[in-house]
Amino acid sequence: MDDGAILVTGGTGFVGRRVVERLRSSGRRLTLATRHPMEAPPGCRVVVVCDIGPETAWREALAGVSAVIHLAAHVHVAPERALAEAGLFDRVNHLGTVRLHDEAAAAGVRLFLFLSSITVIGGASAPGRPFDEATEPRPETPYGRSKLAAEEALRAGSGPDLVILRPPLIAGPGVGGNLRSLARLAALPVPLPFGAIHNRRTLLSLDNLGSAIEAVLARPSPGTFVIGDRAPLSTAEIVAALRAGLGRRPGLLPVPAALIGSAARLAGFGGHAQRLLGDLEVDSSAFRERYGWRDEVETEAVLRQTAASLAGRT
């Protein structure tokens, strides 16, 4: 890449903060488009962008920019709210992304990196069949459908070199959502019934995502890639790592998965049970081979750090 500035959207969020920190430490010139300018780190050019959608004006933010890292998104909400917010998902994640891409093309930007989601493929992989670039997309949520619509529109367009990354659940200190909920569950001083859960779930550690983005910036090679940490973990291993971060033993009881699933469905938590019991495995070998990318950190170490951070131990 040339030495133009890099525009980062979502740079004050969970993922964006760490990406920005890494890029700043390597001497990159950054422009942050954010609606929270007071949260932007020093040393970055900041442009206030209040809402992302099909009418957003990007000209000021794109001035002097050679690459765009588009991290901002309307993210997962509780299942009971997701359908009601389907229009907002589409407006922000699909139409807003297309708008930014089109204006970036008009401004002469050379690279557009779009952080999509593994949910464009689906919510669960079949045992022994990890998701990869050849897996047919079957999104199950408004979030996943909006991300897929954006991907398809970007690939159909023209302009900058386009790199699309499809990460699974991202792990690291400060995480929210499902992993934060699981960490809170792991913090309870009681045994948990996951000792017999031997599923395979790929996570993506925050610093591994950061290094992947740096690899793309160093040597852009267009394409759409699934990406994740090399070694998948079972739910039992995830909980054990979280508890290790709290200085505790795993405390896991070997309750059969079928019994947990039945109880969860009866209690109205069938969707949560799928995420705890099912597989979501990712094969990121295509990205690794294309970019020479390797994990910087191990998933279990990051989970320990995550739990310790949430408990105020770091």
Question: Which domains are assigned to the chain?
Answer: 5-166 (3.40.50.720), 172-204+229-280+291-313 (3.90.25)
CB 152 within 8 A of CB 93: no
Averages of pLDDT over runs of 10 residues in the chain (314 residues) are 86 95 95 93 92 96 98 77 79 98 98 98 96 97 97 96 98 92 93 95 98 97 98 97 96 92 72 83 98 98 95 70
- Closest C-alpha to 194, from 115, 297, 264, 97: 264
Q: Taking the model in full, what pTM does it have? A: 0.94
Given this model, what pLDDT does residue 80 score?
Answer: 56
Given this model, what pLDDT does residue 269 score?
Answer: 63
- Closest C-alpha to 299, from 234, 252, 247, 222: 234
Separation of alpha carbons 225 and 238, rounded Å: 25
In the residue annotation, 143 being an active-site residue is answered as yes
Token pair recorded at residue 59: 């000209």
Beta strands in 58-182 (DSSP E): 65-70, 111-115, 161-166, 170-171
Spell 39-51 as b/e; 16+ CB within 10 A means b. ebeeebbbbebee
Given this model, what pLDDT does residue 136 score?
Answer: 98
Following DSSP, what letter does each residue of 158-224 receive, concatenated? -SSEEEEEE--SEESTT--HHHHHHHHHHTSSS-BS-TT----B--EEHHHHHHHHHHHHHS---EE
Given this model, what pLDDT does residue 273 score?
Answer: 75
Choose the catalytic residue: 14, 143, 194, 293.
143
Given this model, what pLDDT does residue 235 score?
Answer: 96
